[in-house]
Amino acid sequence: MRFLVTGATSGLGRNAVEWLLKQGFEVHATGRNKFVGKELMDLGARFTELDLVDADEHDLRNLLKDSDIIWHCAALSSPWGKYKWFYQANVAVTAKLAYWAGKLAIKRFVHVSTPSIYFDFQSHIDIPETYLANKFVNHYAATKYLAEQNIQQNVINFPNTTYLILRPRGIFGPHDRVVFPRVLAQIKSRNGVLPLPNGGRACIDLTFVLNVVYALFLATTNNSLSSGEVFNISNQQPSYLYEMTEKLFKDNLKMDYNIRSIPYSFLYSIATVLELSSKFTGQEPLLTRYSVGTIYFDMTLNQQKAINRLGYRPMYTLNQGFEITANWLRNNLDDLNG
Protein backbone atom coordinates (compact mmCIF):
# COMPACT_ATOMS: atom_id res chain seq x y z
CA MET A 1 0.00 0.00 0.00
CA ARG A 2 1.16 3.50 -0.88
CA PHE A 3 0.02 6.24 1.50
CA LEU A 4 -0.47 9.97 1.10
CA VAL A 5 -0.53 11.79 4.45
CA THR A 6 -1.63 15.43 4.57
CA GLY A 7 -0.67 17.73 7.44
CA ALA A 8 2.50 15.66 7.68
CA THR A 9 4.79 18.27 9.22
CA SER A 10 3.05 18.60 12.58
CA GLY A 11 1.09 16.72 15.22
CA LEU A 12 -0.91 13.71 14.12
CA GLY A 13 0.29 13.77 10.50
CA ARG A 14 3.94 13.70 11.47
CA ASN A 15 3.40 10.79 13.85
CA ALA A 16 1.45 8.99 11.13
CA VAL A 17 4.28 9.32 8.61
CA GLU A 18 6.90 8.14 11.07
CA TRP A 19 4.78 5.14 12.11
CA LEU A 20 4.04 4.08 8.53
CA LEU A 21 7.70 4.30 7.58
CA LYS A 22 8.64 2.08 10.53
CA GLN A 23 6.11 -0.48 9.27
CA GLY A 24 7.83 -0.46 5.88
CA PHE A 25 5.18 1.34 3.85
CA GLU A 26 5.78 3.76 1.01
CA VAL A 27 4.74 7.22 2.17
CA HIS A 28 4.17 10.47 0.33
CA ALA A 29 3.98 13.26 2.91
CA THR A 30 2.76 16.78 2.30
CA GLY A 31 2.83 19.88 4.48
CA ARG A 32 4.03 23.46 4.62
CA ASN A 33 7.14 23.12 6.81
CA LYS A 34 10.08 22.36 4.51
CA PHE A 35 12.45 21.82 7.44
CA VAL A 36 10.31 19.06 8.93
CA GLY A 37 9.81 17.80 5.38
CA LYS A 38 13.58 17.36 5.09
CA GLU A 39 13.57 15.32 8.31
CA LEU A 40 10.79 13.11 6.93
CA MET A 41 12.72 12.60 3.70
CA ASP A 42 15.76 11.56 5.73
CA LEU A 43 13.53 8.89 7.30
CA GLY A 44 12.53 7.62 3.85
CA ALA A 45 9.38 9.54 2.93
CA ARG A 46 8.74 11.33 -0.30
CA PHE A 47 7.84 14.93 0.55
CA THR A 48 5.93 17.64 -1.27
CA GLU A 49 5.96 21.12 0.23
CA LEU A 50 2.49 22.46 -0.49
CA ASP A 51 -0.17 24.72 0.99
CA LEU A 52 -3.31 22.76 0.16
CA VAL A 53 -5.42 25.92 0.29
CA ASP A 54 -3.63 27.18 -2.82
CA ALA A 55 -3.39 23.81 -4.60
CA ASP A 56 -4.92 23.64 -8.09
CA GLU A 57 -6.02 20.66 -10.17
CA HIS A 58 -2.51 20.05 -11.49
CA ASP A 59 -1.08 20.06 -7.93
CA LEU A 60 -3.72 17.68 -6.65
CA ARG A 61 -3.41 15.23 -9.53
CA ASN A 62 0.35 15.06 -9.00
CA LEU A 63 -0.10 14.71 -5.26
CA LEU A 64 -2.62 11.87 -5.41
CA LYS A 65 -1.69 9.98 -8.57
CA ASP A 66 0.58 7.28 -7.09
CA SER A 67 -1.33 6.70 -3.85
CA ASP A 68 -3.61 3.87 -2.79
CA ILE A 69 -4.64 5.38 0.55
CA ILE A 70 -5.13 8.96 1.72
CA TRP A 71 -4.95 9.92 5.38
CA HIS A 72 -6.27 13.49 5.53
CA CYS A 73 -4.83 14.87 8.79
CA ALA A 74 -4.40 18.51 7.70
CA ALA A 75 -6.75 21.10 9.21
CA LEU A 76 -6.91 24.51 10.77
CA SER A 77 -7.48 23.60 14.42
CA SER A 78 -7.91 26.66 16.60
CA PRO A 79 -10.57 28.14 18.90
CA TRP A 80 -10.21 31.56 17.23
CA GLY A 81 -9.89 33.07 13.75
CA LYS A 82 -11.82 34.36 10.76
CA TYR A 83 -14.47 32.11 9.24
CA LYS A 84 -12.90 32.28 5.78
CA TRP A 85 -9.63 30.89 7.13
CA PHE A 86 -11.42 27.87 8.55
CA TYR A 87 -13.62 27.41 5.51
CA GLN A 88 -10.67 27.41 3.12
CA ALA A 89 -8.52 25.05 5.22
CA ASN A 90 -11.20 22.66 6.49
CA VAL A 91 -13.99 22.66 3.91
CA ALA A 92 -12.52 23.71 0.56
CA VAL A 93 -9.34 21.65 0.96
CA THR A 94 -11.23 18.54 2.07
CA ALA A 95 -13.68 18.97 -0.82
CA LYS A 96 -10.86 19.13 -3.37
CA LEU A 97 -8.99 16.14 -1.95
CA ALA A 98 -12.11 14.00 -1.54
CA TYR A 99 -13.27 14.79 -5.08
CA TRP A 100 -9.96 13.89 -6.70
CA ALA A 101 -9.63 10.79 -4.56
CA GLY A 102 -12.91 9.61 -6.04
CA LYS A 103 -12.11 10.82 -9.53
CA LEU A 104 -8.82 8.89 -9.50
CA ALA A 105 -10.50 5.85 -7.87
CA ILE A 106 -8.17 5.83 -4.88
CA LYS A 107 -9.09 2.90 -2.66
CA ARG A 108 -9.58 4.64 0.69
CA PHE A 109 -9.88 8.19 1.96
CA VAL A 110 -9.68 8.40 5.75
CA HIS A 111 -10.60 11.82 7.09
CA VAL A 112 -9.71 13.07 10.57
CA SER A 113 -12.60 15.09 11.98
CA THR A 114 -13.35 16.21 15.54
CA PRO A 115 -15.70 15.66 18.51
CA SER A 116 -15.89 19.47 18.77
CA ILE A 117 -19.08 19.15 16.74
CA TYR A 118 -20.69 17.67 19.89
CA PHE A 119 -19.66 20.45 22.27
CA ASP A 120 -22.46 22.74 23.50
CA PHE A 121 -21.37 24.04 26.93
CA GLN A 122 -23.08 21.16 28.71
CA SER A 123 -21.78 17.97 30.29
CA HIS A 124 -22.24 14.80 28.24
CA ILE A 125 -21.15 11.25 29.04
CA ASP A 126 -20.89 8.47 26.45
CA ILE A 127 -21.68 10.59 23.38
CA PRO A 128 -22.57 8.48 20.32
CA GLU A 129 -21.55 9.34 16.76
CA THR A 130 -25.15 10.35 15.99
CA TYR A 131 -25.15 13.29 18.42
CA LEU A 132 -24.77 16.85 17.14
CA ALA A 133 -24.75 20.19 18.97
CA ASN A 134 -27.75 22.39 18.21
CA LYS A 135 -25.34 25.26 17.58
CA PHE A 136 -21.62 24.98 16.86
CA VAL A 137 -19.45 26.79 19.37
CA ASN A 138 -16.86 28.13 16.91
CA HIS A 139 -15.78 28.24 13.27
CA TYR A 140 -13.57 25.18 13.71
CA ALA A 141 -16.46 22.92 14.72
CA ALA A 142 -18.78 24.38 12.07
CA THR A 143 -16.34 23.89 9.20
CA LYS A 144 -15.25 20.43 10.26
CA TYR A 145 -18.90 19.38 10.18
CA LEU A 146 -19.31 20.90 6.71
CA ALA A 147 -16.25 18.92 5.63
CA GLU A 148 -17.89 15.73 6.88
CA GLN A 149 -21.05 16.55 4.92
CA ASN A 150 -18.98 17.03 1.78
CA ILE A 151 -17.36 13.64 2.27
CA GLN A 152 -20.77 12.00 2.64
CA GLN A 153 -21.74 13.50 -0.73
CA ASN A 154 -18.64 11.95 -2.29
CA VAL A 155 -19.69 8.59 -0.86
CA ILE A 156 -22.69 8.82 -3.19
CA ASN A 157 -20.78 10.14 -6.18
CA PHE A 158 -17.75 7.82 -6.06
CA PRO A 159 -18.69 4.26 -5.05
CA ASN A 160 -15.23 2.90 -5.98
CA THR A 161 -13.57 4.88 -3.18
CA THR A 162 -14.26 4.03 0.47
CA TYR A 163 -14.55 7.19 2.58
CA LEU A 164 -14.24 6.89 6.37
CA ILE A 165 -14.30 9.50 9.14
CA LEU A 166 -12.59 9.39 12.55
CA ARG A 167 -13.33 11.79 15.42
CA PRO A 168 -10.42 11.49 17.90
CA ARG A 169 -10.78 13.33 21.20
CA GLY A 170 -7.96 15.40 22.74
CA ILE A 171 -4.91 14.14 20.85
CA PHE A 172 -1.65 14.33 22.80
CA GLY A 173 1.86 12.97 22.36
CA PRO A 174 5.13 13.71 20.55
CA HIS A 175 5.08 16.71 18.17
CA ASP A 176 1.88 18.06 19.77
CA ARG A 177 2.13 21.77 20.54
CA VAL A 178 -1.45 22.31 21.62
CA VAL A 179 -2.61 20.23 24.59
CA PHE A 180 0.08 19.61 27.21
CA PRO A 181 2.71 22.13 25.97
CA ARG A 182 0.15 24.88 26.67
CA VAL A 183 -0.50 23.47 30.14
CA LEU A 184 3.25 23.39 30.75
CA ALA A 185 3.52 27.01 29.67
CA GLN A 186 0.72 27.95 32.08
CA ILE A 187 2.52 26.29 35.01
CA LYS A 188 5.83 27.97 34.22
CA SER A 189 4.36 31.42 33.65
CA ARG A 190 2.52 31.28 36.99
CA ASN A 191 5.43 30.04 39.10
CA GLY A 192 4.13 26.53 39.66
CA VAL A 193 0.41 27.25 39.78
CA LEU A 194 -2.08 25.75 37.32
CA PRO A 195 -5.48 27.47 37.40
CA LEU A 196 -8.35 25.16 36.45
CA PRO A 197 -12.12 25.64 36.64
CA ASN A 198 -13.54 23.57 39.51
CA GLY A 199 -10.03 22.33 40.25
CA GLY A 200 -9.86 20.19 37.10
CA ARG A 201 -12.68 17.87 38.11
CA ALA A 202 -14.06 17.53 34.60
CA CYS A 203 -14.26 13.94 33.41
CA ILE A 204 -12.89 13.87 29.86
CA ASP A 205 -11.42 11.62 27.20
CA LEU A 206 -7.94 12.07 25.77
CA THR A 207 -6.26 10.03 23.05
CA PHE A 208 -2.56 9.22 22.72
CA VAL A 209 -1.49 10.11 19.21
CA LEU A 210 -0.17 6.66 18.28
CA ASN A 211 -3.55 5.18 19.15
CA VAL A 212 -5.10 7.56 16.62
CA VAL A 213 -2.55 6.38 14.05
CA TYR A 214 -3.51 2.80 14.85
CA ALA A 215 -7.19 3.68 14.35
CA LEU A 216 -6.31 5.22 10.98
CA PHE A 217 -4.60 1.97 10.02
CA LEU A 218 -7.61 -0.10 11.07
CA ALA A 219 -9.83 2.16 8.97
CA THR A 220 -7.49 1.40 6.08
CA THR A 221 -7.30 -2.36 6.45
CA ASN A 222 -10.73 -3.40 7.77
CA ASN A 223 -12.58 -4.59 4.67
CA SER A 224 -15.94 -4.99 6.41
CA LEU A 225 -16.47 -1.22 6.74
CA SER A 226 -18.97 0.69 4.63
CA SER A 227 -18.11 3.93 2.90
CA GLY A 228 -19.25 6.92 4.94
CA GLU A 229 -18.98 5.32 8.38
CA VAL A 230 -17.97 7.57 11.28
CA PHE A 231 -16.11 6.52 14.43
CA ASN A 232 -15.42 8.12 17.79
CA ILE A 233 -11.83 7.50 18.89
CA SER A 234 -10.40 7.88 22.39
CA ASN A 235 -8.06 6.12 24.79
CA GLN A 236 -11.16 4.48 26.30
CA GLN A 237 -10.01 5.61 29.77
CA PRO A 238 -12.16 8.59 30.83
CA SER A 239 -10.44 10.40 33.71
CA TYR A 240 -10.54 13.61 35.67
CA LEU A 241 -8.43 16.37 34.16
CA TYR A 242 -6.49 17.00 37.37
CA GLU A 243 -5.54 13.31 37.57
CA MET A 244 -4.17 13.33 34.03
CA THR A 245 -2.09 16.47 34.54
CA GLU A 246 -0.64 14.98 37.72
CA LYS A 247 0.27 11.75 35.92
CA LEU A 248 2.18 13.63 33.26
CA PHE A 249 3.73 16.55 35.10
CA LYS A 250 4.19 15.23 38.64
CA ASP A 251 4.73 11.52 38.11
CA ASN A 252 6.64 11.57 34.82
CA LEU A 253 8.21 15.03 34.61
CA LYS A 254 8.71 15.32 38.41
CA MET A 255 7.36 18.87 38.43
CA ASP A 256 6.24 20.49 41.65
CA TYR A 257 3.08 22.51 41.02
CA ASN A 258 -0.29 23.19 42.59
CA ILE A 259 -3.74 23.35 41.02
CA ARG A 260 -5.74 26.43 41.91
CA SER A 261 -9.49 26.03 41.59
CA ILE A 262 -11.05 28.99 39.76
CA PRO A 263 -14.81 29.53 39.38
CA TYR A 264 -15.98 28.71 35.88
CA SER A 265 -18.13 31.83 35.69
CA PHE A 266 -15.09 34.00 36.43
CA LEU A 267 -12.95 32.40 33.71
CA TYR A 268 -15.84 32.50 31.25
CA SER A 269 -16.29 36.23 31.87
CA ILE A 270 -12.59 36.89 31.33
CA ALA A 271 -12.64 34.85 28.11
CA THR A 272 -15.65 36.85 26.88
CA VAL A 273 -13.82 40.14 27.41
CA LEU A 274 -10.66 38.83 25.75
CA GLU A 275 -12.60 37.63 22.71
CA LEU A 276 -14.30 41.01 22.35
CA SER A 277 -10.92 42.75 22.56
CA SER A 278 -9.51 40.46 19.90
CA LYS A 279 -12.10 41.70 17.41
CA PHE A 280 -10.42 45.09 17.59
CA THR A 281 -6.77 44.02 17.98
CA GLY A 282 -6.81 41.14 15.50
CA GLN A 283 -4.71 39.10 17.96
CA GLU A 284 -5.73 35.65 19.18
CA PRO A 285 -7.07 35.88 22.77
CA LEU A 286 -5.10 34.14 25.51
CA LEU A 287 -8.34 32.49 26.62
CA THR A 288 -11.57 31.65 24.80
CA ARG A 289 -14.98 30.59 26.07
CA TYR A 290 -14.61 27.33 24.18
CA SER A 291 -11.24 26.49 25.75
CA VAL A 292 -12.63 27.25 29.23
CA GLY A 293 -15.69 25.12 28.57
CA THR A 294 -13.74 22.09 27.36
CA ILE A 295 -11.91 21.83 30.69
CA TYR A 296 -14.99 22.47 32.83
CA PHE A 297 -17.74 20.28 31.36
CA ASP A 298 -17.63 16.48 31.39
CA MET A 299 -17.28 15.01 27.91
CA THR A 300 -16.67 11.36 27.08
CA LEU A 301 -17.28 9.46 23.85
CA ASN A 302 -19.16 6.23 23.29
CA GLN A 303 -16.73 3.63 21.95
CA GLN A 304 -19.00 0.72 21.04
CA LYS A 305 -18.95 1.38 17.32
CA ALA A 306 -15.17 1.80 17.29
CA ILE A 307 -14.81 -1.49 19.17
CA ASN A 308 -17.43 -3.55 17.35
CA ARG A 309 -17.16 -2.22 13.78
CA LEU A 310 -13.64 -0.84 13.48
CA GLY A 311 -12.06 -3.38 15.83
CA TYR A 312 -10.29 -0.59 17.72
CA ARG A 313 -8.78 -1.03 21.15
CA PRO A 314 -5.93 1.31 22.17
CA MET A 315 -2.42 -0.08 21.76
CA TYR A 316 -1.12 2.29 24.45
CA THR A 317 -2.65 3.03 27.86
CA LEU A 318 -2.85 6.61 29.11
CA ASN A 319 0.09 5.98 31.44
CA GLN A 320 2.20 4.65 28.58
CA GLY A 321 1.21 7.65 26.49
CA PHE A 322 2.13 10.05 29.31
CA GLU A 323 5.55 8.40 29.71
CA ILE A 324 6.33 8.69 25.99
CA THR A 325 5.04 12.27 25.93
CA ALA A 326 7.13 13.22 28.97
CA ASN A 327 10.28 11.88 27.30
CA TRP A 328 9.53 13.91 24.18
CA LEU A 329 8.85 17.06 26.21
CA ARG A 330 12.17 16.68 28.06
CA ASN A 331 14.04 16.45 24.77
CA ASN A 332 12.22 19.35 23.13
CA LEU A 333 11.79 21.95 25.87
CA ASP A 334 14.22 24.37 24.22
CA ASP A 335 12.42 24.08 20.90
CA LEU A 336 9.02 24.60 22.55
CA ASN A 337 10.24 27.64 24.47
CA GLY A 338 11.74 29.10 21.31
Q: Which tens digits make up the pLDDT trace of 294-307? A: 999 999 999 999 99
SS3 of residue 31 by DSSP? strand
Residue 181 has pLDDT above 90, yes or no: no
Which helix (H) or strand (E) segment holds residue 215: the answer is helix 209-221
Could you write out the DSSP letters of every residue in 55-76? --HHHHHHHHTT-SEEEE----
Model pLDDT, residue 337: 52
Put the strands of the sheet holding 299-301 in their side by side order.
Answer: 124-127, 299-301, 203-204, 239-240
Looking at this protein, which amino acid is placed at residue 56? D
Model pLDDT, residue 327: 95
Quick one: 262 exposed, middle or buried, by C-beta within 10 A (0-12, 13-18, 19+)?
middle
Q: What are phi and psi of 163, to 5 degrees?
A: -105, 130
Instruction: Residue 89: name the closest of 37, 52, 38, 135 by CA.
Output: 52
Interval 135-144: pLDDT, tens: 999 999 999 9
Whole-model pTM: value is 0.95
How far CA 96 is from CA of 72, 154, 176, in Å, comes to 11, 11, 26
Model pLDDT, residue 335: 64
Which helix (H) or strand (E) segment holds residue 149: the answer is helix 139-157
Q: What Rg value do the Cα atoms of the chain yield, rounded?
A: 20
Q: Are strands 239-240 and 203-204 parallel, antiparallel or unpaired?
A: antiparallel
Rounded Cα distance, 49 and 15, in Å: 17
- The per-residue pLDDT of the chain, averaged, comes to 95
Say if residues 228 and 151 touch (Cβ distance below 8 Å): yes
Burial 69-96 (b: 16+ CB within 10 A, else e): bbbbbbbbbbbbeeeebbbbbbbbbbbb
SS3 of residue 197 by DSSP? strand
Say if residues 93 and 51 touch (Cβ distance below 8 Å): no
How far CA 130 is from CA of 37, 119, 182, 289, 302, in Å, comes to 37, 13, 31, 25, 10
- Distance separating the N- and C-terminal Cα atoms of the chain: 38
Rounded Cα distance, 305 and 234, in Å: 12
Model pLDDT, residue 280: 86
Neighbours of 277 (CB within 10 A): 11
Residue partners of 128: CB distance under 8 A and separation at least 6: 232, 302, 305
Residue partners of 203: CB distance under 8 A and separation at least 6: 125, 238, 239, 240, 298, 299, 300
Interval 136-173: pLDDT, tens: 999 999 999 999 999 999 999 999 999 999 999 999 99
pLDDT band, very low/low/confident/very high, at 255 (cuts 50, 70, 90):
very high
Looking at this protein, which amino acid is placed at residue 169? R
| Three-class DSSP labels, 284-326 | CCCCCHHHHHHCCCCEEECCHHHHHHHCCCCCCCHHHHHHHHH
Interval 96-109: pLDDT, tens: 999 999 999 999 99
